[in-house]
Amino acid sequence: MNSNRKLMTLDEFTIHQTRQFSNATGELSTLLRDISLACKMINKQVNKAGLGDVLGTHGATNVQGEEQMKLDVYSDQMLINVLRNSSECAGIASEENDDFVAFEDEYSMNSKYVVMFDPLDGSSNIDVNASIGTIFCIYKRVSPLGTPCVEADFLQPGSAMKAAGYVIYGSSTMLVYATKLGVNGFTLEPSIGEFCLSHPGMKVKENGKIYSINQGNTNKLNDKLKSYLNYCMDEEFSHRYIGSMVADLHRTLIKGGIFMYPADLKNKNGKLRLIYECNPMTYIVEKAGGLGTTGNENILDIKPQELHQRVPIFIGSKSMVEKAVEMIN
Ligand code: P6P
């Protein structure tokens, strides 16, 4: 056994972190391990998306009215199955399911946590081989233990979140996970099938020179937003937009910058969903020192009114987001 092994697996890392809190029970670590297992299975399918019959639409459409790619449905089912069998999850809410799913076996009903996720965000990019991802967040339920979870468990403000993360299926497969202790990145080592610590203590730059928005929507923006985009161009910032929130936010976390999906004439409340896209990504970015806002209020302060609620979002390097808010208000 190589005693000076450098690799630290996700499990070793979370066990090490749990030891720092004498009253920690390891339940959150178990939940993270279950989620990472589902994502490893999703990764396997995503990596061979061009083969077999996983491409092409599933024929159904989700609550957003978007055609469900087969991989969306597979990813959703994988996460639900793993979490249903987890000893730590009472139920889930997912972009791909109209309503939340309460797990009604005895173990699940006595679990403390609920999980919200977008099982395969950016799935319209699957057939062009652009990076896509899974986004998740974990809350303590507000309903009593021993009973099925209820909708109120899923309509908590982001400030009540206990942990959040994403897996990006890109040139490498990475899991980025945030708790009150900070943000850490783990890269999948395929030869051993383990996520290994590769980006300890991730911090988003205070300032940056990249702005990320679908410029095709510019004519639908109000004049103040247009003036902010002109400011970005006058400052000779670089424009980068992949059209996959996980990929655009991962770049923002690593290189700094600002990502925006504002409200416009077509999307009155923006396009991105609050509870399983904007909240978890804002939690991660803010634990890394950045900022996430609708332009009028902090994303994490919003009390959700319904599961698939959409909000505008400006997120990334703190100084850039503050400048954008100053100019658009
Ligand atoms: P648009 C992907 O469909 C997604 O939900 C996010 O991942 C991404 O940021 C956004 O929509 C892209 O939307 O309108 O620019 O194609």
Each residue's pLDDT tens digit, 14-71: 888 888 777 777 888 899 999 999 999 999 989 886 665 555 566 667 777 766 668 8
Locate CATH 3.30.540.10 in the chain.
10-199
Structure tokens at 288: 């890394």
Question: How confident is the model over 287-310, as pLDDT tens digits?
Answer: 999 999 999 999 999 999 999 999
Closest atom of ligand 1 relative to the 124 alpha carbon = 3
- Across the range 217-238, mean pLDDT stands at 97
Task: Indicate which residue's Cα is closest to atom 9 of ligand 1.
Answer: 245
Which of residues 183 and 24 earns the better pLDDT score?
183
Q: Is the CB of 121 under 6 A from ligand 1?
A: yes
Locate CATH 3.40.190.80 in the chain.
210-328
Buried b (16+ CB within 10 A) or exposed e, 260-270: bbbbbeeeeeb
If one residue of 64, 245, 277 were mutated to test the ligand 1 pocket, choosing by the most ligand atoms within 8 A of its CB, it would be 245
Least Cα distance to 99 among 63, 146, 123, 59 occurs for 63
Mean model confidence pLDDT for the chain: 93
Number of CB atoms found within 10 A of residue 60's CB: 11
Task: For the full predicted model, state whether its pTM sits above 0.85.
Answer: yes
Structure tokens at 320: 């850039």
Pairing of strands 238-239, 210-212: parallel
- Across the range 186-193, mean pLDDT stands at 95
- Give one DSSP letter per residue of 261-324, joined into a string: E---SS-BTBSSBIIIIIHHHHHHHHHTT-EEE-SSSBGGG---SSTT-B--EEEESHHHHHHH
Confidence band of 228 (pLDDT split at 50, 70, 90): very high
Distance 316 CA to ligand 1 centre (A): 17
Task: Return the SS3 of 87.
Answer: coil
CA distances from 239 to 211, 251, 257, 273 (A): 5, 12, 10, 23
Question: How confident is the model over 72-128, as pLDDT tens digits?
Answer: 899 999 999 999 999 899 999 999 999 999 999 999 999 999 999 999 999 888 888
Return the percentage of the chain with pLDDT > 70, whole number. Answer: 93
Return the percentage of the chain with pLDDT > 90, whole number. Answer: 81
Q: With 50 as the cut, is the pLDDT of residue 223 above it?
A: yes
Least Cα distance to 258 among 182, 313, 310, 302 occurs for 313
- Across the range 171-197, mean pLDDT stands at 96
Q: Are 185 and 196 in contact (CB under 8 A)?
A: no
Distance 243 CA to ligand 1 centre (A): 5
Q: Is the CB of 214 under 6 A from ligand 1?
A: yes
What residues contact 146, with CB distance under 8 A and at least 6 apart?
A: 109, 110
Residue 54: per-residue pLDDT? 54
Closest atom of ligand 1 relative to the 216 alpha carbon = 15
Which listed CATH number (3.40.50.300, 3.30.70.1400, 3.30.540.10, 3.30.460.10) goes with 10-199?
3.30.540.10
Q: How far apart are CA 29 and CA 11, in angstroms?
A: 7
Q: Is the CB of 124 under 6 A from ligand 1?
A: yes
Confidence band of 2 (pLDDT split at 50, 70, 90): low
Q: With 50 as the cut, is the pLDDT of residue 1 above it?
A: no
Q: How far apart are CA 184 and CA 179, in angstroms?
A: 9
**Phi, psi (deg, nearest 5) at residue 204:** -90, 135
Topology of domain 210-328 in CATH is: D-Maltodextrin-Binding Protein; domain 2 (3.40.190)
Q: Is the CB of 267 under 6 A from ligand 1?
A: no
